[in-house]
Amino acid sequence: MEWKNEFTRTLGITYPLIQAPMLGITTPAMVAAVSNSGGLGSLPVGGLPPEKVTALIREVKALTQQPFEVNLFTYEPPLHPDRKTFDDMQEFLQRLYRANGLTVTPVNFEEIPYYSWRDQLPVLISAGIKYVSFTFGMPDAAGFALLKQHHIYLMGTATSAEEAEVLKAAGVDAIIAQGIEAGGHRGSFLPGELPQTGIMALLPQVVDRVRIPVIAAGGIMDGRGVVAAKMLGASAVQTGSIYLRAHESAATPPHKAALAGITDTDTLLTRAFSGRWARGIRNTLITEVAASGLPVNDYPYQNALTQPVRTIARELDNPAFIAMWAGQAAGKARAWSTADIFAELVRETALLLG
Ligand SMILES: Cc1cc2nc3c(=O)[nH]c(=O)nc-3n(C[C@H](O)[C@H](O)[C@H](O)COP(=O)(O)O)c2cc1C
């Protein structure tokens, strides 16, 4: 496949195809499989403790000598979370769990752990990481300065043309334009209404405004999507849902089973699991939290509240309480090895590009 550009040359990769970071799903083996195939693997570490970040980077490095990126949540948690919102939601969730035959230990508001990207940066720097992407905002000026001082290539996530301009002004090297089709969390970070632009409309507007490499993300599941993104001005594409059922994916068996049967209308945007908007497959927790009419806690408080039930549901293979993130086109995901999924994407794209 002949699609080389400034982005592939800068990163030293063969194909402008990025495996999207997917926290909870992406394993070091998945990252390495894509990087070893000539694409860019992405290791998600958003919110993880620094020692875990160190261990994961070490695991990836043991599996590949090729370039890969590390993905951060550049998020500033609320300074004054609302205690009443937390308590009311906890009471509601406890009733919901009991009604579904689940016993879940309540979460202590005072003991919610949160590891900032600031705690993780020193780990990335000492590990010699050269490529970093981020979502949920961007580093502050000191963070940018530190990353730049170490010559780290920066990719920031934008869900609107305005967010892309803000990221460019702050000094990113490339923009990840994330369309509304995308699975998982929206990277949106500017105040106001949640941007809901589809990738077809978003991509050319971002490309025209920023004039730096733009990576297209959202709903791309085959060569047709890759070539369409190229035509709209993308320098690379980032695909997540395509790998959800991969052999190397850490998705739970119920999540993988649910993906096998979904169509374009089976996912929705919800704040019920984490407090941030994210796209996943409809289930009991999502519909019941919405029906309750209760205000949802901001991230990471809602995330911490639902963490215990997610762990229990994983052990029980209970799809009603697992966060089954998926994009609008995730029904096309195949239960193949990551390397085979990647190779097929390259093959289809090459055929179309002639
Ligand atoms: C299960 C899942 C988890 C995700 N986790 C992250 C993450 O940790 N960091 C991030 O920047 N993006 C995350 N995303 C969003 C992806 O980077 C990307 O925008 C999305 O997968 C593209 O759309 P697609 O799923 O239709 O391919 C996640 C997506 C999914 C499906």
Query: Is 8 in the same domain as 123?
Result: yes
pLDDT in tens, 133-168: 999 999 999 999 999 999 999 999 999 999 999 999
- Model confidence, pTM: 0.97
In a domain, 191, yes or no: yes
In a domain, 314, yes or no: yes
Q: Determine whether the shortest distance from the Cβ of 223 to ligand 1 is under 6 A.
A: no
Check residues 120 and 113 and name the one with the higher pLDDT.
120
Distances (CA, A) of 104 to 10, 15, 322, 343: 49, 46, 14, 43
Q: Determine whether the shortest distance from the Cβ of 46 to ligand 1 is under 6 A.
A: yes
Q: Determine whether the shortest distance from the Cβ of 181 to ligand 1 is under 6 A.
A: yes
Pocket test for ligand 1, best of 74, 185, 200 (most atoms within 8 A of CB): 185
Query: Is 26 in the same domain as 69?
Result: yes
Nearest to 158 by CA among 131, 193, 186: 186
Query: Is 173 in the same domain as 275?
Result: no
Joined tokens for residue 192 = 């106001």
Q: Determine whether the shortest distance from the Cβ of 21 to ligand 1 is under 6 A.
A: yes
Query: Is 215 in the same domain as 242?
Result: yes
Nearest CA to ligand 1 atom 15: 184
Query: Is 182 in the same domain as 298?
Result: no
Query: Is 174 in the same domain as 268?
Result: no
In a domain, 328, yes or no: no
Model confidence band, residue 352 (pLDDT cutoffs 50, 70, 90): very high
Model confidence band, residue 242 (pLDDT cutoffs 50, 70, 90): very high
Nearest CA to ligand 1 atom 6: 22
Q: Determine whether the shortest distance from the Cβ of 71 to ligand 1 is under 6 A.
A: yes
In a domain, 236, yes or no: yes
CA of 20 to the centre of ligand 1 (A): 6
Model confidence band, residue 1 (pLDDT cutoffs 50, 70, 90): low
Q: Determine whether the shortest distance from the Cβ of 157 to ligand 1 is under 6 A.
A: yes
For the CA of 328, the closest atom of ligand 1 is: 26
Mean pLDDT of the region 276-289: 98
Give me the pLDDT at residue 114, please: 86
Model confidence band, residue 295 (pLDDT cutoffs 50, 70, 90): very high
| Number of domains the chain is built from | 2
CA of 151 to the centre of ligand 1 (A): 25
Nearest CA to ligand 1 atom 9: 21
Query: 254-283 as b/e, with b when 16 or more CB fall inside 10 Å?
Result: bbbebbeebeeebbeebbbbbbbbbbbbbb
Query: Is 26 in the same domain as 174?
Result: yes
Domain that holds residue 103: 78-112+252-323
For the CA of 136, the closest atom of ligand 1 is: 11
Side-chain half-sphere exposure of 147, counting CA atoms within 13 A: 30
Query: Is 146 in the same domain as 282?
Result: no
Q: What is the dihedral of CA 336, 337, 338, 339, to 10 degrees?
A: -120
Model confidence band, residue 238 (pLDDT cutoffs 50, 70, 90): very high
pLDDT in tens, 31-72: 999 999 999 999 999 999 999 999 999 999 999 999 999 999
